[in-house]
Structure formats: structure tokens, C-alpha cells
A and B are shown apart, each in its own frame.
Chain A
Amino acid sequence: MKQFTINHLRELESESIYVIREVAAQFENPVMLFSGGKDSIIMFHLARKAFFPTKVPFPLMHIDTGHNFPETIEFRDWLANESGAQMVVRHVQDSIDKGRAVEETGFTASRNKLQTVTLLDAIEEMKYDCAMGGGRRDEEKARAKERFFSHRDEFGQWDPKNQRPELWNLFNGRKNIGEHFRVFPISNWTEMDVWQYILLENIAIPNLYFSHEREVFERDGILYAKTPFMKIKDTEKVEKRIIRFRTIGDATCTGALDSIANSLEDIIREVAATRVTERGGRADDKRSEAAMEDRKIEGYF
């Protein structure tokens, strides 16, 4: 008998599609979180593959901090239009205006932490019972312990010491009223898998990922883009450099890197040669050793 082998990328694809379909089948009102970054882009691509020729049977939701790069917002709107998906947008600014969240001040001010409030409020408002996120276990040590189906209590919090066992491919999405789930369909993907898949499937991504000229300044070893959202100290020098972004988050916490990679093949070569983790350029993770763990427990993405 002929032996069939499936390469690892197709196996990951099959697994993710299975997980996304389980969400559609087990929950009444799920939503897929969309940030405009590559992970949420491939997660959405997998969702489209899971249900084609029907449209994706749940909306996307973007928590807009107001500190996004304009390119991210443009891309989001283009993708929603191209795919016909429903895109729900909720603004951190509204949470601040309502007094639900307080803006940080100073040079390191970021709205990253504030997103959690807006996200949890939106889940409650829209009565979503499951929110899919593009988190990957290889990203960060607190994420390494996350289940595919991650149960959240009525306060939206994660209890890492008391997670439901997850065996075989049997995902238990049963819950009580008021509780919800976070589901991470691309848990088992690595950064390299994501890039290779984008190339393989020819998936559109924002231009920010490709090399371009931009005004940047250096702070604590991280290269930031000059944007209206960040105060620049007198000692910090703004200069034009050829850069690209390896991850896309808020302009206030996403580091750029000097790069001339302007094709997916170049990016893959660069990622293969790099000696720093993806989140090494993320100021939101550098706040403390357990920064991600703390945010996750509160109900972060």
C-alpha cells in the first residue's frame, strides 16, 4: 500500500481548520479577533478555507486602540470588503471617554493594557460566547501553557493553574451562562510556519511588513516609528531609515528593524537568520518578566 505523508504545514492547516469548525459548531455567538497582524490574517484565511464556499459564519472584531498605523486600518477595511466578512470595530478611545479606562501618561505611555477593558466590554455588549485569537504558543512563555480551548470565568479571567485537560482532538467548549472561551486555532504554529504559509498560499499582508523608508528613533535599543502617538525626548534623534516591521501592534510598542527585505522570500531568509525572538522588539512584553502572564490572567488577547 502506498504510504501517504502530509507535510507539517498542511497538517497544521488541517488542525487549525478543525479547531475553527469546532468553534462554529459548539458556540452560539463566536467572534474572531482581528488585529491586522500576520497571525490574525492567516487565522482568518484558515477560517475562509474551513467554510468555503460559504462565507465565514462569524464576524471579525478589531479592538482599535487609536494608536494603529494607518496602513493597518487601511488593510483591515480592504480585507473586510474583499472577503465580505462582517468587521466589528470597538475603540479604546470610547472606553477612555466613558471613564472605563485611564490613559497612561509619560514617555512609555501605551494603550496596550487598556485594550483588555475594551475587549471584555465588547464581549459582554455583543454577548459573544467565544473569541478566537491568533496567539501562538511559541511566542511567549505564558502562551506555551495555553490550551486550544481556554475557559474564561464570568470576569473574563484565565486561571492557568486550573485549565481543563485537553485530550486527543476532543475540545470541550461547554460553559455556564456568563462565561466565555478564548480559542487559539494557530496555537501550534511558529513564526516561520506563518511566513512559509503566507508564501505558499499567497496571502495578502500589510505593506508594513516589507522594507520601506520611515522616520524612526531609538529608545532602549528598540527602533520606533515617529508617530503622533509617541512623545520623543530631546535626546532622541529622529532619522530616516530603511526598515520593516516583524510584528504589527500599536505604533507605541512595536519595534522596527533595519531591513531591505521586500519580498516574502527575503523575509523568510531574514527570519531564518535572525537571532532575536519576534517579541524581542515588543515593548509591551518588556515591562516585566511576567508581563504577558499578568495581562493574560486579566483577560488580554
Chain B
Amino acid sequence: MDKDITTSAYLDMELLRFTTAGSVDDGKSTLIGRLLYDSKAIFQDQLDAIERASIKKGEDYINLALLTDGLRAEREQGITIDVAYRYFNTPKRKFIIADTPGHIQYTRNMVTGASTANVALILVDARHGVIEQTIRHAYIASLLRIPHVVVCVNKMDLVEFREEVFSSIQKRFMDFSTHLDIQDVRFIPISALNGDNVVDRSVKMNWYEGPTLMYLLENIYISNDYNQLDARFPVQYVIRPQTNEYHDYRGYAGRMASGSFKVGDKVKVLPSGFTSTIKTIDLWKEPLESITAPQSAIITLDDDLDISRGCMIVSAENGIRQGQDIDLMVCWLGEKPMISGGKYIIKHTTSDLKCMIKEVKYKVDINTLEKVYENKSIGLNDIGCISIRTTKPLFFDSYRQNRFTGSLVVIDEATNVTVGAGMII
């Protein structure tokens, strides 16, 4: 960690969330260990612990991958079971890594990690090139609309740092990714084990003129990642102090899902459709002039309207879609397959409501990216396009337009478990 860290510099940092996806043994844990180690986020006692563990296992060097070992079961089996979150910062940014396991059965973890990420790191073993898992990872990054994808071609040391190996992987990836919806994709040849092009520029790959991975993570432009146009404020909680000082105070607590509001803005309240004007925006003891995603605050309005949790305050002129028949892409996360015609609970912004699965339109073969119309049963880790009907109208945007008003989770009524992740088309 930077010794000269000052408070003003610290407050200038942006937050970047990234997810890492890779197959077993492609060096993902080593890469994360390398990022943590080279950015000096590793403490002496952690380093001592992995050094002891490396010696115990009879390894020749300090195994940085051990830094990311979590649960005992994982250490015993040498695998990652669940999404693990890691933190480090450089003077420019604070990073949150959602480290997701790569095995085929853990698509659900990858979707979880991807849902909030600004950047997806996809690891490719230089010796094996683009494999089925790479395609699956890229598809999920595209489906979840992670704004930036960085393909790290790892283990370049094992292919003599040859440029043509890197270029052919890049070409192969670009070929299939034309079928995907990835907005920004970059490629970096690295060796996580030796640190080439991770934090420090490799001296063995002079043919590569692009940035190192750390430079990219520190500088990639993320201010546009939030939808800044469509003002959406789902109401979480109604604040009514009922004290003498705040006798008539009626505030709507929430977090701006997208866009922004300022005091005096004309707004529309859904589902009632009534319009009003923003009177104040409050947080703690100082009133704010405006609120922008992803800020949390309390909004008060000029008019006394009937507003409760599950309502949404939107800009008066900027329309939001509404309806009860909704098409969405679903990634199934439950052990039990989805029941077509079955009833489920959905959670969308701050409202819970029931829905029925009307039909499965198609299923996606995530290894070939083809649409499957024959066997359309959707089980664990399957992805498909479905139509649902909700009991009450839903106010939403397409997921492509808005990650927060376009997403929902499907919950099994009997077990209360989250069984599906939905992205509205």
C-alpha cells in the first residue's frame, strides 16, 4: 500500500469492480495473487503463511495462487467453490475483484460475479487457445453486459513469448465474438507466474505495444458505465419522523438506479402516474442539490401523494416501459429445473411480485452459441429466452439500456431460494 496515502488523494479514487473468469488451471488464482502482490496489497503475515504452505507442499517458489484460497474444502481439493471477493487499491482506483470459479457447473457463480462488474477479465491459456469455456465466459460477459472485456492470454512464457500465438488467439476470439454483444474488448499477452505485462511491462514481448493489465485497470474509462440519461429512483422505504420538528416530513428513501435528479425537477410517480416536483433531496444533516446514480438519499415532493416501497419515481418526460407480459433472457441457478407454466416470485428493483412462466422460446447452447428449439427444458446453469406474465404491471427498461431496472431474480415460492437471473429484452 502506498505509504504517502493522504486523505484528499484517497477521496479522489474511483471504484472499479471486475470479475475474473477462467478454466481450471489457466492461472487465474496466480494472476489475482500477482495483482495483489505487485500492488503491495499483501501483508507480511499473509505472505509468511503462503510461504509456509508452499514449502509444505514442496513447491519451488512462493505459490501466489494460495493467496486466494478460501475455505478448507477448497484448499483440500485445490478448487474454488464460490465467488470470493478481493480488494486492493492503487493511488488511482480501488478495486473489488469478484473471483469466480471456472468449472462448468459454476456458471451461476460467474453470473453472480458478472452482474455488478465494470470489467471482465477472461483468461486464456496460450497453449490451448480459445476453448469452449472461453466462449462460455465471453457469452456470459456479453449477456450480463459487462461494459469492458479484457482477454488475458496467459502463460506466454510456455509458448516462448511468440507473437503469432497471441495474434491467432486474438483473431479466433474476434471471429466468434462478432456473434456476441461486447462493446469493448482488449487483448493482453501476459505471464501471471512471472509478472510479464501484469503490473510491469514485459521485456520479453517487445512486439506488444499495448498497455499492461494494471495500466488498463487503472485507466479504462468507466464513467459512462452507469446509465446517466434515464432518471429512475425506486422507492425503498418511506421516512415519516412524526416528531414536532419534522411534523409534515414525508420522504422517500432510495438509491438512484440510473440518471439524476435535481431539486425542482418535474417527476412522475409510478404506478399511479401522478406528477409532482422534487422539493428536497436529503442525506443526513445537509440537503443536496442533486442526486446521481448510484447515490442513496431521501427525496421529498411538493405534493402529498400515496407512495410506498415498490413505487418508482422517474423523470416526467422520459418514459419507462410498463407491462405484464415480459420477455427475458434467464440464466437458471436452481438445482431443480424451471417449470414451464409454473409460478414463481420475482424481485425487480424494490418490488416483489408473482409471475407465471408462459413459455420457453429457445434455449442457448452456450458452447456453440446456437439457439436450440427442440429440447427446451431449462435446468441448472442453462440459459434461455422465456416469456412471463406478472400479476401486476412491472415498470422496467430493457437490460441492455439499464442494468438495474432491466434485471430481476426469480425465486422459488416453496424454498425461497433464488433460482433464476433474468435480463429483460
Tell whether, in the assembled complex, residue A53 and residue B245 are in contact, meaning their CB atoms are under 8 Å apart: yes
Q: Which of A14-22, A59-67, A206-214 contacts B (4 or more CB under 8 A)?
A: A14-22
One of A142, A169, A192, A277 near B10 (C-beta < 8 A): A192
Please judge, given known A-B contacts A174-B416, A268-B7, whether A7 and B14 are in contact too, CB under 8 Å: yes
**Smallest CB gap from B290: residue in A:** A4
Q: Taking the complex as formed, is B305 at the interface, i.e. its CB lies under 8 A from any CB of chain A?
A: no
A residues near B109, Cβ cutoff 8 Å: 165
A residues near B7, Cβ cutoff 8 Å: 196, 199-200, 265, 268
Tell whether, in the assembled complex, residue B421 and residue A165 are in contact, meaning their CB atoms are under 8 Å apart: yes
Interface centre among B5, B224, B228, B407 (most CB of A within 10 A): B5
Tell whether, in the assembled complex, residue A12 and residue B82 are in contact, meaning their CB atoms are under 8 Å apart: no
Tell whether, in the assembled complex, residue A18 and residue B5 are in contact, meaning their CB atoms are under 8 Å apart: no
Q: Taking the complex as formed, is B137 at the interface, i.e. its CB lies under 8 A from any CB of chain A?
A: no
Q: Which of B185-193, B211-219, B234-242, B390-398 contacts A (4 or more CB under 8 A)?
A: B234-242
Interface centre among A17, A163, A176, A293 (most CB of B within 10 A): A17
Tell whether, in the assembled complex, residue A163 and residue B82 are in contact, meaning their CB atoms are under 8 Å apart: yes
Tell whether, in the assembled complex, residue B11 and residue A165 are in contact, meaning their CB atoms are under 8 Å apart: no
**Complex Cα gap A22–B348 (Å):** 13
B residues near A293, Cβ cutoff 8 Å: 71-72
A residues near B348, Cβ cutoff 8 Å: 170
A residues near B11, Cβ cutoff 8 Å: 7, 9, 196, 200
**Complex Cα gap A1–B224 (Å):** 11
**Smallest CB gap from A23: residue in B:** B237
Tell whether, in the assembled complex, residue A53 and residue B243 are in contact, meaning their CB atoms are under 8 Å apart: yes
B residues near A14, Cβ cutoff 8 Å: 255, 294-296
B residues near A11, Cβ cutoff 8 Å: 15, 294
Q: Taking the complex as formed, is A295 at the interface, i.e. its CB lies under 8 A from any CB of chain B?
A: no
Tell whether, in the assembled complex, residue A24 and residue B237 are in contact, meaning their CB atoms are under 8 Å apart: yes
B254 to nearest A CB, angstroms? 8
**Smallest CB gap from A13: residue in B:** B296
**Complex Cα gap A7–B13 (Å):** 6
Q: Taking the complex as formed, is A82 at the interface, i.e. its CB lies under 8 A from any CB of chain B?
A: no
A residues near B81, Cβ cutoff 8 Å: 145, 160-161
Tell whether, in the assembled complex, residue B246 and residue A53 are in contact, meaning their CB atoms are under 8 Å apart: yes
Tell whether, in the assembled complex, residue B294 and residue A168 are in contact, meaning their CB atoms are under 8 Å apart: no
A152 to nearest B CB, angstroms? 13
Interface centre among B70, B111, B246, B348 (most CB of A within 10 A): B70
**Complex Cα gap A172–B337 (Å):** 20
Tell whether, in the assembled complex, residue A170 and residue B408 are in contact, meaning their CB atoms are under 8 Å apart: yes
Tell whether, in the assembled complex, residue A169 and residue B82 are in contact, meaning their CB atoms are under 8 Å apart: no
Q: How many A residues touch the partner, as a band?
A: 35 or more
Interface centre among A170, A175, A274 (most CB of B within 10 A): A170
Q: Which of A44-52, A91-99, A102-110, A234-242 contacts B (4 or more CB under 8 A)?
A: A44-52
One of B43, B46, B223, B249 near A5 (C-beta < 8 A): B223
Tell whether, in the assembled complex, residue B112 and residue A167 are in contact, meaning their CB atoms are under 8 Å apart: yes
**Complex Cα gap A141–B85 (Å):** 9
One of A24, A192, A199 near B1 (C-beta < 8 A): A192
One of B10, B89, B111, B295 near A167 (C-beta < 8 A): B111
Tell whether, in the assembled complex, residue A170 and residue B82 are in contact, meaning their CB atoms are under 8 Å apart: no
**Smallest CB gap from B45: residue in A:** A280
**Complex Cα gap A51–B75 (Å):** 42
B79 to nearest A CB, angstroms? 12
Tell whether, in the assembled complex, residue B418 and residue A165 are in contact, meaning their CB atoms are under 8 Å apart: yes
Please judge, given known A-B contacts A14-B296, A18-B296, whether A188 and B1 are in contact too, CB under 8 Å: no
B residues near A268, Cβ cutoff 8 Å: 5, 7
Tell whether, in the assembled complex, residue B418 and residue A164 are in contact, meaning their CB atoms are under 8 Å apart: yes
B322 to nearest A CB, angstroms? 19
A residues near B260, Cβ cutoff 8 Å: 4
**Smallest CB gap from B285: residue in A:** A52
B304 to nearest A CB, angstroms? 18
Identify 15 new A-B residue pairs, CB closer than 8 A, beyond the known A164-B417, A166-B418, A169-B404. Answer: A3-B224, A18-B296, A50-B253, A52-B282, A165-B111, A167-B115, A168-B115, A168-B407, A169-B255, A172-B409, A176-B416, A200-B11, A265-B7, A272-B2, A275-B44
8 closest A-B pairs by CB: A8-B15, A174-B416, A14-B296, A167-B115, A275-B44, A17-B296, A280-B45, A8-B94
14 A-B pairs in the complex with CB atoms less than 8 angstroms apart: A1-B228, A4-B292, A7-B14, A9-B10, A9-B13, A21-B253, A21-B296, A52-B283, A52-B284, A142-B71, A166-B112, A196-B10, A273-B1, A277-B45
A binding-site residues for B, Cβ under 8 Å: 1, 3-15, 17-18, 21-22, 24-25, 48-54, 137-138, 141-142, 144-145, 160-161, 163-170, 172, 174-176, 187-188, 190, 192-193, 196, 199-200, 265, 268-269, 272-277, 280, 289-290, 293
B binding-site residues for A, Cβ under 8 Å: 1-5, 7, 10-15, 43-46, 69-73, 75, 81-87, 89, 93-94, 96, 108-109, 111-112, 115-116, 223-224, 228, 236-237, 239-241, 243, 245-246, 249, 253-255, 260, 282-285, 292, 294-296, 309, 333, 345, 347-348, 350, 403-404, 407-409, 411, 416-418, 421
